[in-house]
Amino acid sequence: MISSPSSARWVPCSPTGDSPTGDRKERSVGRRPSAKRVAAEAGAHLVRTEVWQGVRAGEPVDVADSGLTGATWTFRCHVLNRHNGAEWVEVVGGRPGATAVRSFDPERIYVTAGSRRGSGTRGRLPLTEEPRLPLG
């Protein structure tokens, strides 16, 4: 038996949850967190240190096997991932005029050896084994 249009009313449901009568479905969606807050929470397990093994942010360092001839680097920070124990060193620089931020294993970071001529890393110990200690 089919009821007459006056006795029964069919109300379509829209994909947005609005009904034709203007009633809205209850949603349990709260305020969206700011991008700044999301970024801060995402990186909360990373511990950044601007002084590491006696080197401060902005001081020159050498990087073993960076793959860039004539590159110069300055220390930016040491990073420790508390979730998995991984660590790396962030440096800024590269070829002359470049300001790229790169990350390297701490074993590849060395104290800069005075003049650039022949200042390779051969025969020297990395900062992980020979930290720069403050004098006096």
Q: Give the residue among 57, 95, 59 at the shortest CA–CA distance from 79.
A: 57
Q: Is 70 exceeded by the pLDDT of residue 16?
A: no
- Higher pLDDT, residue 132 or 16: 132
Residue 111 has what pLDDT? Answer: 86
Output the DSSP codes for 28-94. Answer: ---PPPPHHHHHHHHTTTEEEESEETTEETT-EEEETT-S-TT-EEEEEEEEEETTT--EEEEEEEE
Domain boundaries, the chain: 46-136
pTM of the predicted model as reported, rounded to 2 decimal places:
0.62
Mean pLDDT (whole number) for 6-21? 51
- Higher pLDDT, residue 101 or 113: 101
Of the listed ranges 1-15, 30-44, 46-60, 101-115, the one predicted with least confidence: 1-15
